[in-house]
Amino acid sequence: MLFSKIAMEDYITSFLIEDTGFTGDITSSFLQGKRIKAHLIAGESFTLAGTPFFNKVFELLDNEFQIKWHLTEGQTVYEGDILCSMEGKETALLSGERTALNLLQHLSGIATNTRRYTKVLEGTRIKLLDTRKTTPGLRYFEKYATRIGGAWNHRMGLYDAVMIKDNHIKAYGSITDAVNTVKQNVPITVKIEVEVENWPQLHEVLNVKDKVDIIMLDNWEISEIDRAIEFIRNKINHAKIEVSGGITLEKLAELKTKDIDFVSTSKLITGAKWVDISMEVE
Amino acid sequence: MLFSKIAMEDYITSFLIEDTGFTGDITSSFLQGKRIKAHLIAGESFTLAGTPFFNKVFELLDNEFQIKWHLTEGQTVYEGDILCSMEGKETALLSGERTALNLLQHLSGIATNTRRYTKVLEGTRIKLLDTRKTTPGLRYFEKYATRIGGAWNHRMGLYDAVMIKDNHIKAYGSITDAVNTVKQNVPITVKIEVEVENWPQLHEVLNVKDKVDIIMLDNWEISEIDRAIEFIRNKINHAKIEVSGGITLEKLAELKTKDIDFVSTSKLITGAKWVDISMEVE
Amino acid sequence: MLFSKIAMEDYITSFLIEDTGFTGDITSSFLQGKRIKAHLIAGESFTLAGTPFFNKVFELLDNEFQIKWHLTEGQTVYEGDILCSMEGKETALLSGERTALNLLQHLSGIATNTRRYTKVLEGTRIKLLDTRKTTPGLRYFEKYATRIGGAWNHRMGLYDAVMIKDNHIKAYGSITDAVNTVKQNVPITVKIEVEVENWPQLHEVLNVKDKVDIIMLDNWEISEIDRAIEFIRNKINHAKIEVSGGITLEKLAELKTKDIDFVSTSKLITGAKWVDISMEVE
Amino acid sequence: MLFSKIAMEDYITSFLIEDTGFTGDITSSFLQGKRIKAHLIAGESFTLAGTPFFNKVFELLDNEFQIKWHLTEGQTVYEGDILCSMEGKETALLSGERTALNLLQHLSGIATNTRRYTKVLEGTRIKLLDTRKTTPGLRYFEKYATRIGGAWNHRMGLYDAVMIKDNHIKAYGSITDAVNTVKQNVPITVKIEVEVENWPQLHEVLNVKDKVDIIMLDNWEISEIDRAIEFIRNKINHAKIEVSGGITLEKLAELKTKDIDFVSTSKLITGAKWVDISMEVE
Amino acid sequence: MLFSKIAMEDYITSFLIEDTGFTGDITSSFLQGKRIKAHLIAGESFTLAGTPFFNKVFELLDNEFQIKWHLTEGQTVYEGDILCSMEGKETALLSGERTALNLLQHLSGIATNTRRYTKVLEGTRIKLLDTRKTTPGLRYFEKYATRIGGAWNHRMGLYDAVMIKDNHIKAYGSITDAVNTVKQNVPITVKIEVEVENWPQLHEVLNVKDKVDIIMLDNWEISEIDRAIEFIRNKINHAKIEVSGGITLEKLAELKTKDIDFVSTSKLITGAKWVDISMEVE
Amino acid sequence: MLFSKIAMEDYITSFLIEDTGFTGDITSSFLQGKRIKAHLIAGESFTLAGTPFFNKVFELLDNEFQIKWHLTEGQTVYEGDILCSMEGKETALLSGERTALNLLQHLSGIATNTRRYTKVLEGTRIKLLDTRKTTPGLRYFEKYATRIGGAWNHRMGLYDAVMIKDNHIKAYGSITDAVNTVKQNVPITVKIEVEVENWPQLHEVLNVKDKVDIIMLDNWEISEIDRAIEFIRNKINHAKIEVSGGITLEKLAELKTKDIDFVSTSKLITGAKWVDISMEVE
């Protein structure tokens, strides 16, 4: 998993604190703490994602909590499926239920939505990418979920890859200045991507073509994309090509035959809805 | 605002850390830091929500950053509207852009979605409520956004009100035992709500009616709700009535003439999509 | 217990850090760490409170530490009583002794002091309440101890109930404005209390009586309280009545026959002294 | 002040969080935030202590908050005195009031109580010392208050001086082994104190007398103390002498003529009660 | 700078806490806090590095502290040079002196040591790289200092680039399995490097050559390196070549004429010594 | 060990976070996590130091990790020695390797360097001391390592002993004022040291000689040191004498016959280089 264990546990602890504050769960705290059983039921069809985080919620509340999953991460779930059987302290179960389900429903929603897009590209070598448009505080969870849905991660944050966009070009003065300055300073392991919105920008990339690893065609007309691809493949032949901007399922279908490497869209995450899962105490 | 200033700033700082890690923004860090101007443009119509958090992102990165909003929190925004004008250090602007927009787009999406529901209840005394189904780590932001959209907050967490649900009834043995035990232990300022799913449960509430502040009719047929309301108003007359479960815009229209106090639905948050806003450097 | 397990452990960890700093316990650290036995002896009579926190101190220092209590939380202890038997690593025992005893002596002092007050009200339906006058950093521990002493908790902090006091009335302009503004904004689960100091204020409460859950008569003459109670019961019949201000054991005895719901006093905590307990290594 | 500025601000921030949680001050948050004035009034006579912390509470909430003290730290205050005049944002004033007063009332109570003891020793060279019996989480505040009351600080924690007590002697096997082992390991700047409860222990100190900086006579009969002092002054002449155990005002009066260096008692802190101070908005 | 401002300030705050604990600077705290002047003097020749961190120490202690540098970051300093003039609160100056100097002396030592190596490669296109052998807790400071000394950063941590070493090959079973598995999982912006120790490993890289961005020749005989370079340039022509293992100034001189991209050595940091700088109050 | 267990674990956790960020170890995370064996080999001769921290790294990553040391802390290690055998999860081993080795190599380097100095003083009663010139963030680790190398710790930070240096004398106005003011304020357990650079300063110490525990002769000519010692022993006979400033192995040899208590030098730490240790998976 692309998530440090230490960071992940810190996040989930903070989610529990968000819900319990100082006073704790004032509905369940006065129970004896006997062990009880429960299970999860799918209220609709979806792609399951987030089970390691779901497990961690209860592990943090009761280190003898047991969860047995009947379906695995990434599997398609159908309405009425029993997803898992659980057994643990009643106080842990009742206090952790909402936090654990919120994670599972949100992340499964993202995986489910992502799969709608990745299916379109099946059979091609084009990789579908997520973006940095993620819910603040949930970046690493949501990027985990897009992978479960079949997508690939673009950079994780501002710190692990360079992406020169329109606003950076304005601030640095030109693509040439931006790429040269950045390349001069970043670790040698960092890839550099440039977002180009038009032909003049694409031509300017030639000045620094050896330093550019990925070229993103942002919001280009489908009709222009073929010419742009041809230009890049001829002039800057080692660079990867990414297409982005207003990606719909229809547009994706049009792109699947192109000689491109990546398509990226924030919609995998921002257009997702929670799936329906409920917990039943036995 | 129902959000401690200290807690809010800690959250937003953590969102920036999530995006910048240790190494920082490796695309913008090598700029000189001169002051530049930018503005936000609405890419569609929506209800604006989250401006205080948007401001805070940039205040944390540059304490002389200036933002002038042309529209106010909660106002309806139309496609093409210039939302605000900004001026500050280029490094702050470029590094904070995504985090600030992620918050604004997500929260405006929730406010916009919420308003669709609250409009249905306009002219009635019924209050629309949110729930604890919120994105982990964003509870207080999202509950802020539902208020901007015209809804009211239900309890903020497990710690500030008692809600006895089906699973609690099983764990405590009965509604009577659950309410009595909890009431015996919680602060005297805490309200107690009981979720009832059927007539036997509603009858059992009579045992402890003086201790119950809110009765939630969970997933009742519309056809049964009138009888339940009448029963409650006659027997437990001080209690507030909340209706929940599968609330759609249609169902809400049916409920608006009932003698109830609250309708609650997680859909305000879980069914929302991000709105389209972009930042343009001048 | 009205204390989140995560928050409680964080607090106790910080208490240990306060005492050990970076360098640790420089008197005990050079011992081998062999297991030794010890016990606690009561140096006077008191009400025992704080044993879960006492246990947690040693659990954090040695996860195989064993403590067997011979008396239970809330029980009356007499001079010379052996409170518990302990066995664990000598380094844990010696390093944790002071922190653990400080908690136990302070909290037992509060429970003991509280019981002096709650005894007066025995046989009545009036509940004795604590306040927010608590030692900074120990709020949730001290409010735990008043409960052990037989009192009930008033609100836990500024965040979980509304209390409109003299200074709020001045700031909002009037009781009416204060209650209306607050009620319009807070979660529907929040109770609203108004502190009234005189008849004009009590009369003004009629303007917003449906929104007020508790009326506190602050510093009223005993002679006036009966009239005030009658007024409230007639005009605002659903509201609870709290009496506060200069509560002594004598004043409490006078109040016990009144038709009131709550008496509150900060003296449970601010007037308490530590009880005498010592640890003896065997 | 013996308190790191960073640590002090972290503590006070945590005190505010304890009171405001995530949701904040739900009674005051809906005010406009206009500037208002207030003052503090003494409800009884006492020694003023804690003003720097009182100031810090409001500085953290409103960095333009102004407080003008009419009396200075350590001064004797009389009932009815106006302690200070304040002006700042109404939201800051109302939200910080309780936390700031809790600190001031608690710490002034300790300074006041301490002064009762230190007065007895006036005119002598004997220093009155506090101990590590402090309220968990408030160690550095309370030890600040005892100094304001005229006492001196004993060690701040387990980390900055060695104190070999009865339980350490048992664990190490003997005073000789304890002192030798510890001296071999601690920084050369650390002082070593040995607590002796009887003549055999005092005689044993001779084995390691060059390594012992302070000898504490713990719970010795007044009648024996003179002989012990004479013994120490003759045999271990560089060591300081501390007397401890059951120190009352009467016992202190008896000790004031002895040739000792220190008297220590936890009662300065554990026997203190809060003083009466109230805030009045103008 | 490749260092998030938030992270950097958190680190430096923690360095101050390390030195001041709870009690603070007990030698300087009792000064009035008047403003004084001081300057730094170089006790030897070196490359200056760390001035932004030096400044931050004092900014955190006194936000009106002023430092004027007479030499700039990366410049060569000679014995007796006045590096900067400072003016600020005496308490800030005395409490921050050691922490600020420790950073400056340590980091200038690294920059100075690094420059000895980078000088050898001057006039070539070969970049000298640091490694992950850095002092725990100082990674981002030390990697900053190597850049000041003219080197380039290799990956910052385990999270931002893949490096498959001998132990990974053993764990995954083969280079082929390691590269394929990793490539299948990491973000598309991540570069993959493989460390090869011998000819069979180098030949195996051919299986996955399209997925490998950098090949590191680890501990190869100088005599074999030419053949290895030729092999790589012919077979895997897009990959960068890094040479590592036992790099001395002599070995570096031998490597400078080779057709390689990078030489890496931990010695830049692990072989550095602190430079001599002292602060003089005027 | 002079290191609080809580503080030590927090530090080592932060070292792991520094290396793994949010995304974790992207080279090893996709392994199954099977148990593997490894061992450490010494690449040169040195004094072993840091094994408890090395162990803790792996314990934090895998609580069933087993390490068996064949040599003990402080022992001399020879090139080719197998230092320890390890067995645990492959992911833990590979992710923790660098952090654990960085600690061990750095700290063993300090112990090794320290031993070169302490050997010179063998057979004398003079103690070699470290200073506060330590790598920021590693103070307590490095002071641990100097002890392993046979040195003694001077004060741990600014908080646990008073050291009046040249700059303090300027700020307070004189040695007399500095010592008197400080002595009046610090805990009675704190030792006071004065650094004297010349005869007038040494004479001035007579004014406050009863308050001074240690006199440091800073940068005195060897030829003058004998006279200074004689002066101190005659006039201020209880004070300890510390010699510091430009301590080399040669100077140390000259000092070993003097009647002094301590010699201190920052070179133990600032002049150390990392030792060569490597890990081999079996």
pLDDT confidence band for A50 (50 / 70 / 90) = very high
What number of CA atoms fall less than 13 Å from residue F139's CA on the CB side? 28
Q: What's at F176, amino acid-wise?
A: T
Q: Please report the pLDDT score of residue E237 as a whole number.
A: 86
Mean pLDDT value of segment E79-96: 98
Under a CB-based contact definition with an 8 Å cutoff, are residues F128 and F148 in contact?
no
Mean pLDDT value of segment E70-89: 98
From the CA atom positions of chain C, what is the Rg in Å? 23
Axis crossing angle, helix C5-20 with helix C90-121, rounded to the nearest 10: 120
Q: How far apart are CA E129 and CA E238, in angstroms?
A: 20
How many helices (H) and strands (E) chain A has is answered by 10, 12
pLDDT at B82 over 90: yes
Q: What's at F270, amino acid-wise?
A: T
Provide, rounded to the nearest whole percent, the portion of chain B with pLDDT above 70: 100
pLDDT at C237 over 90: no
Under a CB-based contact definition with an 8 Å cutoff, are residues D160 and F159 in contact?
yes
pLDDT confidence band for E173 (50 / 70 / 90) = very high
Element (H, E) at C7: helix C5-20
- DSSP for residue B221: -
Residue D133: which residues within 8 A CB-CB, separation 6 or more?
C98, C101, C102, C105, C274, D266, D269, D270
Provide, rounded to the nearest whole percent, the portion of chain A with pLDDT above 90: 98
Residues of F with CB under 8 A from a CB of C: 1-7, 139-140, 156-157, 159-160
Q: Which of F133, E19, F8 shows the shortest CA–CA distance to D7?
A: E19
Q: Which single residue is written with the structure tokens 């036992």?
A: E246
pLDDT at E244 over 90: yes
CB contact under 8 A, E7 and B16: no
Provide, rounded to the nearest whole percent, the portion of chain C with pLDDT above 70: 100
Under a CB-based contact definition with an 8 Å cutoff, are residues C249 and C115 in contact?
no
Q: How far apart are CA A7 and CA A5, in angstroms?
A: 6
List subunits contacting chain D, requiring 3 or more Cβ pairs under 8 Å. Answer: A, B, C, E, F
Q: Select the residue from A23, A26, A94 to test the C interface by mutation, using most C Cβ atoms within 10 A.
A: A23
Instruction: State the nearest Cα–Cα gap between C50 and chain E, in angstroms.
Output: 26
Q: Please report the pLDDT score of residue D41 as a whole number.
A: 98
Provide, rounded to the nearest whole percent, the portion of chain D with pLDDT above 70: 100
> What residues pair up with D170 in beta bridges, in sequence order?
none
Q: Please report the pLDDT score of residue B171 as a whole number.
A: 95
Mean pLDDT value of segment E192-197: 98
- DSSP for residue D206: G
> What residues pair up with A67 in beta bridges, in sequence order?
A86
CB contact under 8 A, A22 and D21: yes
| Alpha carbon C169 to chain centroid, angstroms | 27
Q: Which of A270, A105, A42 shows the shortest CA–CA distance to B136?
A: A105
Q: How far apart are CA A229 and CA D233, in angstroms?
A: 95
Catalytic amino acids of D?
Answer: 98, 133, 165, 195, 218
User: Could you give the C-alpha distances from C21 to C14, C158, E17, F270, in angstroms and in order?
Assistant: 10, 32, 10, 25
CB contact under 8 A, A21 and C3: no
Average pLDDT along chain B? 97
Residue C213 structure tokens: 């859950």
| Alpha carbon E190 to chain centroid, angstroms | 21
Residue C120 structure tokens: 């007066």
Element (H, E) at C243: strand C240-244
Q: Please report the pLDDT score of residue E45 as a whole number.
A: 98
Q: How far apart are CA E133 and CA F277, in angstroms?
A: 12
Q: How far apart are CA C236 and CA C203, in angstroms?
A: 10
Dihedral class, residue C32 (left if φ above 0, else alpha if ψ from -120 to 50, else beta): alpha
User: Could you give the C-alpha distances from F121 to D14, E16, F215, F225, F269, in angstroms and in order?
Assistant: 49, 33, 20, 17, 18
Count of all residues that appear for chain B in the document:
282
pLDDT at D204 over 90: yes
Q: Which single residue is written with the structure tokens 């012990």?
A: D228
Instruction: State the nearest Cα–Cα gap between D31 and chain C, in angstroms.
Output: 7
CB contact under 8 A, A20 and C2: no
Axis crossing angle, helix D5-20 with helix E5-20, rounded to the nearest 10: 110
Instruction: State the nearest Cα–Cα gap between E147 and chain A, in angstroms.
Output: 8
Under a CB-based contact definition with an 8 Å cutoff, are residues C151 and C264 in contact?
no
Residue E227: which residues within 8 A CB-CB, separation 6 or more?
none
Q: Which of E90, E92, E130 shows the shortest CA–CA distance to E110?
A: E130
Under a CB-based contact definition with an 8 Å cutoff, are residues A246 and A266 in contact?
no
Q: What tens-digit pLDDT sequence spans chain F (282 residues)?
A: 899 999 999 999 999 999 999 999 999 999 999 999 999 999 999 999 999 999 999 999 999 999 999 999 999 999 999 999 999 999 999 999 999 999 999 999 999 999 999 999 999 999 999 999 999 999 999 999 999 999 999 999 999 999 999 999 999 999 999 999 999 999 999 999 999 999 999 999 999 999 999 999 999 999 999 999 999 999 998 999 999 999 999 999 999 999 999 999 999 999 999 999 999 998
List subunits contacting chain A, requiring 3 or more Cβ pairs under 8 Å. Answer: B, C, D, E, F
Cα angle: E155, vertex E159, E161; to 5 degrees: 45
Pairing verdict, β B46-47 and B76-77: antiparallel
Name the percent of chain D in helix, strand, coil, to the closest 5.
Answer: 45, 20, 35
pLDDT at C261 over 90: yes
Q: Please report the pLDDT score of residue C119 as a whole number.
A: 98
- CA end-to-end span of chain B: 32
Q: Which of E26, E31, E101 sits opposite F158 (nearest CB)?
A: E26
Q: Select the residue from C9, C26, C104 to test the D interface by mutation, using most D Cβ atoms within 10 A.
A: C26
Residue D214 structure tokens: 């302070």
* DSSP symbols for C135-178: -TT-HHHHHHHHHHTT-B---SSTTSSEEE-HHHHHHHSSHHHH
Core vs surface per residue E172-200: b (16+ CB within 10 A) or e: beebbebbeebbebbbbbbbbbbbbbeee
Instruction: State the nearest Cα–Cα gap between B84 and chain A, in angstroms.
Output: 17
Q: Which of D166, D198, D196, D162 shows the shortest CA–CA distance to D179?
A: D162
3-state secondary structure of B37: strand
pLDDT tens by residue, B31-49: 999 999 999 999 999 999 9
Mean pLDDT value of segment D112-127: 98
pLDDT tens by residue, B246-275: 999 999 999 999 999 999 999 999 999 999
- Between the CA atoms of F157, F159, F161 and F163, what dihedral angle is there, to the nearest 10 degrees? 70
Residue D175 structure tokens: 């005073």
- DSSP for residue E160: S
Q: CB-based burial of residue C10 (10 Å sphere; 0-12 exposed, 13-18 middle, 19+ buried)? A: middle
CB contact under 8 A, C4 and A26: no
Catalytic amino acids of E?
Answer: 98, 133, 165, 195, 218
Element (H, E) at F55: helix F51-61
Q: How far apart are CA F140 and CA F119, in angstroms?
A: 23
CB contact under 8 A, F22 and A6: no
Chain C positions touching B2 (Cβ under 8 A) are 185-187
Under a CB-based contact definition with an 8 Å cutoff, are residues E100 and E57 in contact?
yes
Catalytic residue among C59, C81, C130, C195: C195
Pairs of CB atoms within 8 A across A/C = 35
